[in-house]
Amino acid sequence: MLIDGFTIAAQLLNFIILVWLMKRFLYQPVLNAIAAREQKIAAQLADAAATKAKAHEQQLEFEQKNQAFDKQRADLLSQATAAANAEHAQLMVDARQAADAADAARAAALLADTQALHSDIVRRTQQQVFEIARRVLGDLANVSLEQRACEVFIERLHGLDGPALTTLRQALNSTSTAAPAVLRSAFDLPAAQLALLQTALDETFGQALALKVETTPELVSGIELSAHGQKLAWSIAGYLAALSATLDGQPAERGSA
Amino acid sequence: MRLTPDAWIFWQYGIFTLNATILFTWVLMAVLVLGAVLITRRLATGHERSRWQNLLEIVVTAIMSQIEDVGLQNPRRYLGFLGTLFLFVAAAALATVIPGFEPPTASLSTTAALALCVLVAVPLFGISGQGLLAYLKSYLQPTPIMLPFNLISEVSRTLALAIRLFGNMMSGAMIIAILLSITPFVFPIVMTLLGLLTGMVQAYIFTILAAVYIAAATRSSKALNKIVP
């Protein structure tokens, strides 16, 4: 017999059981594994796409930042260059000013030295001239320098005339005991010379003048009468000024005022 | 000489018979299920996986691809039935290389059981696919006059399935047995290889025909009209 009813039924049952077993142990696990792998690959692709998009975004951001940084750097560089140029110019100005100031200080110092030297020369010359004059006068005429200075001053006083005398008189007229005329001399006037001078002044201007006597070494052996801006003087300082002008190569007024 | 393994009986009690067909079917079932369990015990979901897993994935995806090529839209739904049909018939054909093994598919009882399964599965899938009325209406297509012919067609194609597979497998085994007795050395080996090829082809044909029947049953009449105006 080629066909058997029980075997058919048994094979039917066997096949149904086999279908269930294969579904349970083969198809479902394999398909689930494939699905899981596909899902994983899809997730990885999505991640890769997201990462790529993020990288692209970051690249754009980086490029923008780079451009901004370049621009900022260029701006800062230009600002620094401008500041450096300004500082350079300011430093140059300051240096020039400092150099000018140094030049001026040096010139002033040179001038001060020259003046000091000049003053020293003048002072020494005065002293020498004064000493020479004193000795000459003492040797030749047996007259002291102070005495001769008083005499010369009195001669000058007597020699005044015209507008000079009038002007000086007006100036002396306006003096008072509170604001007397000032009589300056390079030395302490002896009483005799002082009386002589007072007498000569009183006679010349016709009044008893109130005098204030001062000793001024700068006059260098001379006598000076001043009142209200008017002055009558004779001193060796004038001669020395002429000598100094001669030494400096400049013309100078001589002697008195 | 036995024409069918049904005749090789190990135990019998009344109508209950343990013959070679049932026994070798159990052996095949055990091998298939144990192999599946062993391989799918540690399935990897990453890119690195074992060669056995690769083999199983190739087999499963190839069966699904064939089912989809036939025209069934959701191949996973039919994979259990059609895939098992293919694997069982193919495994039975492959097992013929084992000396002493008689393929269960060389038994008309087995092929008849498989054909009966197809005969039952086709209307079940058809009804679940397009509804009972629509499926029953398909027997009246193109005209109600065709109802008897459609019914005869159902039965005859089921018989054809059973007989075709049985004839091929039985003849293959029979030829090898005859040749072994005539020319016991080289020629049976060649015929065994040919039998392997024939068995694989038969497994493919059986499965594809079942898929085509199911596809024809699950398609609506509108779809059929669209395909065949």
Q: From B12, which residue of chain A is nearest by alpha-carbon distance? A: A6
Check whether A170 has a pLDDT greater than 90: no
Inter-residue contact B84 to A22 (CB < 8 Å): yes
pLDDT for B58 equals: 93
**Host H or E run for residue A113:** helix A28-141
pLDDT of residue B80 exceeding 50, the answer is yes
**What residues have CB less than 8 Å from B184, skipping those under 6 apart?**
none
CA dist A192 and A185 (Å) reads 14
Are the beta carbons of A33 and B81 separated by less than 8 Å?
no
Query: What is the interface pTM, i.e. ipTM, of the complex?
Result: 0.89
Mean pLDDT of chain B: 85
Give, in order, the Cα–Cα distances in Å from B156 to each of A88, B1, B159, B170. Answer: 112, 29, 5, 20
- Angle at alpha carbon of residue A91, lines to A85 and A96, rounded to 5°: 130
Q: Tell me, what's the pLDDT at A187?
A: 76
Name the DSSP letter for residue B145: G
How far apart CA A142 and CA A128 sit, in angstroms, is 19
Nearest-CA distance from A55 to chain B in Å? Answer: 25
Minimal CA–CA distance to B108: which of B198, B168, B152, B36? B168
Distance CA B123, CA B125 (A): 5
Distance CA A222, CA A235 (A): 3
| Residue A174 in this model has a pLDDT that exceeds 90 | no
CA distance B145 to chain A (A): 33
Q: What percent of chain A has pLDDT over 70?
A: 88
The end-to-end CA distance of chain A, in Å, is: 179
A143-177 burial, b at 16+ Cβ within 10 Å, e below that, comes to eebbebbbebbbebbeebeeeeeeebbebbeebee
Banded model confidence at residue A57, pLDDT cuts 50, 70, 90: very high
B228 has a pLDDT exceeding 60: no
Q: Do B113 and A30 touch (CB under 8 A)?
A: no
Q: Can you give the pLDDT at residue B204?
A: 93
| Gap between the Cα atoms of B132 and B124, Å rounded | 9
Instruction: For residue B12, give the H/E element and its range.
Output: strand B9-13
Q: Give the contacts of A183 (CB within 8 A, at least 6 positions apart).
A: A189, A197, A211, A212, A213, A214, A223, A224, A225
* From B22, B61, B112, residue closest to A3, measured CB to CB: B112
Residue A110 falls within a domain, yes or no?
no
Pick from B40, B46, B81: which is nearest to A25 by CB? Answer: B40
pLDDT band at A142 (very low <50, low <70, confident <90, very high): low
User: Out of A133-142, B78-87, B183-192, which region has the weakest mean confidence (pLDDT)?
Assistant: A133-142
Instruction: Say how far apart CA A2 and CA B5 lie, in whole Å.
Output: 9
Q: Does some domain include residue A71?
A: no
Per-residue model confidence as pLDDT tens digits over B94-121: 998 888 888 898 888 998 999 999 989 9
Residues belonging to chain A with any Cβ–Cβ distance to chain B shorter than 8 Å: 1-12, 14-23, 25-27, 29-34, 36-37, 40
pLDDT of residue A15: 95
pLDDT at B78 over 70: yes
The mean pLDDT of A126-146, rounded to a whole number, is 71
Q: Please answer yes or no on whether A7 and B61 come within 8 Å at the CB atom.
A: no
Whether residue A210 lies inside any domain: the answer is yes
What is the tens place of the pLDDT at every residue in B34-64? 999 998 888 887 778 888 889 999 999 999 9
Are A29 and B76 in contact (CB < 8 Å)? no
Q: Give the residue numbers spanning the domain of A175.
A: 144-248
Decide if A116 is inside a domain. Answer: no
A and B: number of Cβ contacts within 8 A: 124
Distance in angstroms (rounded) separating the CA atoms of residues A57 and A49: 12
The total domain count for chain B is 1
- Phi-psi region at A209: left, alpha or beta (left = phi > 0; alpha = psi -120 to 50): beta
The secondary structure of chain B in percent helix, strand, coil, rounded to multiples of 5, reads 80, 5, 15
**Is A81 part of any domain?**
no
- Per cent of chain B over pLDDT 70 is 94
Of A111, A92, A90, A89, the residue nearest A100 (C-alpha): A92
In a domain, A131, yes or no: no
Alpha-carbon distance A2 to nearest alpha carbon in chain B (angstroms):
6
Domains in chain A, number: 1
Packing angle, helices A191-205 and A162-173, rounded to 10: 110
B115-124 per-position pLDDT tens digit: 999 989 989 9
| Sequence-distant (≥ 6) Cβ neighbours of residue A76 within 8 angstroms | none
Contact B29 A17 (CB under 8 A): yes
A256 pLDDT above the threshold of 50: no
- Helix (H) / strand (E) element for B18: namely strand B16-19
Q: Span B195-209, mean pLDDT?
A: 90
> DSSP label at A190?
P
Which token pair is A49?
């796409």
Q: What is the span of the domain harbouring residue B45?
A: 5-227
Strands (E), A90-249: 181-185, 211-215, 222-227, 230-235
Mean pLDDT value of segment A23-35: 92
Average pLDDT over residues A200-213: 81
Which of B45, B55, B125, B207 should be substituted to probe chain A, the one whose Cβ sees the most A Cβ atoms within 10 Å? B45
How long a stretch of residues is chain A? 257
Scanning the structure block, which residue is given the tokens 């000013």?
A97
For residue B30, name the pLDDT band (cuts at 50, 70, 90): very high
Q: Point out the least confidently predicted range of A98-112, A225-239, B144-158.
A: A225-239
Question: Cβ separation of B29 and A36 shorter than 8 Å?
Answer: no
